[in-house]
Amino acid sequence: MKIFSRLFSSKKNLTIEELRKSTVPKHVAVIMDGNGRWASRHGLPRLAGHREGVKPLKRIVRLCSDLGIKYLTAYSFSSENWQRPKNEVSGLMQLFFETVVAELEELNKNGVRIVLIGNRNLIPQRVLKKFEDAEIITKNNNNVVLNIAFSYGSRQEILEAVKKACINITNKEIDINDIDESYFSKLLFTKNCPDPDLLIRTSGEFRISNFLLWQIAYSELYFTKTLWPDFSDAEFLKAIQDYQYRNRRFGKT
């Protein structure tokens, strides 16, 4: 189907240097889907697929730096994922813990700022502390901001923002007429980021899956059949090149 990885086959694949000459997105969001199916295809347990899925994320962070993309938001664990089998959730928590420990030094050295977005109340304290330590250590980095959407659900995020606005009105800190799009955006987890220019979803699914529903109102969408662990540098550059062919009108002519 043409909607998958729509790259205009007549166009040559561009190098990083060539891509940088055109408009690159400031903010890319990624739904990293297909780890479990990748593991099944290789006769491996699901957790092996999740471990393999760390590799493309590391590469994409590097590519964002090379291309001048300042914000990357990765959907790593949704609020609905807590409903998965306990052994899988437990294995994922251990994987998150190990990954932060293993990758923090290099990310910090490369100027990557780590920001955790999601419901922190549900995250095991041991894992949460590692993430929060990473936030503190990297807080002054400004090469790439890596938002880790962990225990994240967009509907819940929006509801919490509505509650905050209601509390502020009740406390007479604001008037109801003060609430506009700009004010509301500042109540969200992504308050310090521009909205995503490009949303990528792997594995052939055509769903947003409760991810950044407010923020992606005018994002360009890119879908690919590629399972996340197989999502290569070339595939990411294809998505960026495809974005550069889009005509973003934002409702205008």
Domain positions in the chain = 22-153+193-232+239-245
List, in sequence order, every residue forming a beta bridge with 114; answer none if it has no partner: 146
Burial (CB < 10 A; 0-12, 13-18, 19+), residue 64, is: buried
Please give the pLDDT value at position 7. Answer: 39
Six-digit token pair at 47? 């957790």
Helix (H) or strand (E) holding 191: none
Query: Hey, CA dihedral for 207, 221, 13, 60, is it positive or negative?
Result: negative
Query: For tokens 């205009």, what's the residue?
Result: 8
Please give the pLDDT value at position 9. Answer: 39
- Cα–Cα distance between 206 and 216 in angstroms, integer? 15
Burial (CB < 10 A; 0-12, 13-18, 19+), residue 234, is: exposed
CA distances 10 to 13, 28, 118, 146, 234, Å, are 10, 25, 41, 33, 16
Query: Hey, CA dihedral for 135, 136, 137, 139, is it positive or negative?
Result: positive
- What are the E-state strand segments in the chain? 27-31, 71-78, 112-117, 144-152, 198-201, 220-223
The residues annotated with a catalytic role in the active site are 33, 81
Please give the pLDDT value at position 253. Answer: 59
Please give the pLDDT value at position 11. Answer: 62
- Cα–Cα distance between 221 and 240 in angstroms, integer? 11
For domain 22-153+193-232+239-245, is the CATH number 3.40.50.11540?
A: no
CA distances 147 to 83, 185, 186, 188, 252, Å, are 23, 16, 16, 13, 30
> 181 near 217, Cβ under 8 Å?
no
Six-digit token pair at 41? 């295809």
Please give the pLDDT value at position 3. Answer: 39
Taking 70 as the pLDDT cut, the residues of the chain under it are 1-11, 253
- Cα–Cα distance between 14 and 145 in angstroms, integer? 25
Query: For tokens 């980095």, what's the residue?
Result: 141
**Crossing angle of the two packed helices 54-67 and 86-109, in degrees rounded to 10:** 30
Q: What is the pTM of this model?
A: 0.92
